[in-house]
Amino acid sequence: MDTSTLLQEIYEQPAALRQLINTESAPVARLAHKLRDRRYQYVVIAARGSSDNAARYAQYLIGAALGLPVALATPSLHTRYGAHLRFEGALVIGISQSGASPDICAVIDDARRAGAPTIAITNNLGSPLARAAEFNIPLHAGIERSIAATKTYTTQLAALALLTLSMANDSAGLTTLATIPDAMEAILTLDARMREIAGDLADATAAVTIGRGYHYATAWEIALKLKELTYVAAEPYSAADFQHGPIALVREAFPVVLVATRGAVADDLTAITRRLRDLGAHLTVISDVPAILEMADRPALLPVSVEERFSPMTTIIAGQLLVFHLARARGLDPDNPRGLRKVTETR
């Protein structure tokens, strides 16, 4: 059996999500009740790396459930340019596995001084970020030893869902969220299939990842993992944005990883899959949509379908397994990617 720390933590994700949901459902419900007395018309999220991809997920989830625009913060304005941003009407969230990055903390510090409600979503309640924020949602993921984020990423998605659904009084959504750990366990059965696909991709030097809607975040996270662990120059795109110029990259046998699940954008993703096939792209598709899978060179059929807004928590596991096995196929150590360390403190 492979003893990789990264692989072990990929497999720990269902349990981590259960722990978060079981422990934080009641506290987050109380937090949502407190927030109802505060005035805000939009959300600002400060994050870096994988946490920034969780923020991209929140843009869709919060926008759809609460009707609130979500902006991604520009931390360097706070730490390098001395800007004094106005946070009137904002709810400000900082997301960080370690909670140690000074520039994320600076956004939360400035927002709190301006009187905005602030929330830290972190795996470390003793961190500077947790201390800076008015409210905290701990991830309960346990120590994440691998440099590449896995269980802290999916628990961040779940924490954002727990907060958003609680704010929306969406009891049906909360009930569905509680079933996602079981769905994640089903996705882990794709391990052998992702190893096969990774073997076919072992010689790739560049690729694009494509999603749309909720899976825009998934495309970004898979691309980040490809760069971190396999050194493939992978660029993420929305299916819509990709057609506005970048599709010119596609040539015969060019690697494309596409994520598509049932939902509002499935028809659009079916159309772009057809176009990519006609252009000769070598298509790896992670999907539960038969029409899309049948056009793929390397289809990965999701063994379980979940509601679209929760599907980034499940599909990313297939992406993580793909990247792990691709690193192995390329003779690399996924536990020790070059030039990286677990905690990056940008200022």
pLDDT tens digits, one per residue of 168-190: 999 999 999 999 999 999 999 99
* Shared domain check, 211 and 87: no
In terms of pLDDT, which residue wins out, 218 or 249? 218
**89 has pLDDT over 90:** yes
* Shared domain check, 57 and 155: yes
* Shared domain check, 158 and 103: yes
**57 in a domain, yes or no?**
yes
Core vs surface per residue 270-307: b (16+ CB within 10 A) or e: bebbebbbeeebbbbbbbbbeebbebbebbbebbbbbb
**153 in a domain, yes or no?**
yes
Any idea what the CATH number is for the domain that residue 141 is in? 3.40.50.10490
* Shared domain check, 226 and 160: no
Which one of 20-34, 76-90, 236-250 scores highest in mean pLDDT? 20-34
As given in the structure block, the two tokens for residue 252 are 């015969």
**pLDDT confidence of residue 339:** 66
Split at pLDDT 50, 70, 90, the class of 280 is very high
**pLDDT confidence of residue 1:** 57
* Shared domain check, 291 and 143: no
Of 93-97, 168-172, 251-255, the least confident: 251-255
**334 in a domain, yes or no?**
no
**pLDDT confidence of residue 56:** 98
**341 in a domain, yes or no?**
no
Percentage of the residues of the chain whose pLDDT score is greater than 70? 97
Tens-digit pLDDT profile for residues 104-130:
999 999 999 999 999 999 999 999 999
- Separation in Å, CA 93 to CA 123, 216, 230: 14, 20, 31
Distance, CA of 124 to CA of 156 (rounded, Å) = 12
* Shared domain check, 167 and 75: yes
* Shared domain check, 154 and 189: no
* Shared domain check, 140 and 193: no
Question: What is the overall mean pLDDT for the chain?
Answer: 94
Cα angle value 175/180/181 (rounded, 5°): 120
As given in the structure block, the two tokens for residue 6 are 């990264």
Alpha helix segments (H runs only) across the chain: 5-11, 13-35, 50-66, 75-79, 102-113, 128-132, 151-167, 171-177, 180-187, 191-200, 215-230, 239-242, 266-278, 290-293, 312-329
**98 in a domain, yes or no?**
yes
**168 in a domain, yes or no?**
yes
* Shared domain check, 44 and 171: yes
Tens-digit pLDDT profile for residues 18-50:
999 999 999 999 999 999 989 899 999 999 999
- For range 161-165, the mean pLDDT: 98
In terms of pLDDT, which residue wins out, 283 or 250? 283
**245 has pLDDT over 60:** yes
| Run of H or E residues at 91 | strand 90-96
**343 in a domain, yes or no?**
no
- For range 162-173, the mean pLDDT: 98
**pLDDT confidence of residue 130:** 96
As given in the structure block, the two tokens for residue 155 are 């628990």
**pLDDT confidence of residue 29:** 98
**pLDDT confidence of residue 340:** 66
Contact assessment for residue 343 and residue 100, using Cβ atoms and an 8 Å cutoff: yes
* Shared domain check, 164 and 206: no
Q: Residue 159: CB partners within 8 Å, gap ≥ 6?
A: 20, 24, 28, 121, 137, 139
As given in the structure block, the two tokens for residue 110 are 């400035």
Total of domains in the chain: 2
In terms of pLDDT, which residue wins out, 340 or 83? 83
In terms of pLDDT, which residue wins out, 55 or 346? 55
Residues in the chain: 347
Of 144, 178, 212, the position where a domain reaches its end is 178
**pLDDT confidence of residue 344:** 56
**335 in a domain, yes or no?**
no
* Shared domain check, 35 and 139: yes
Domain that holds residue 236: 184-329
Strand order across the 42-46 sheet: 70-72, 42-46, 90-96, 118-122, 135-138
Percentage of the residues of the chain whose pLDDT score is greater than 90? 88
* Shared domain check, 92 and 60: yes
Split at pLDDT 50, 70, 90, the class of 251 is confident
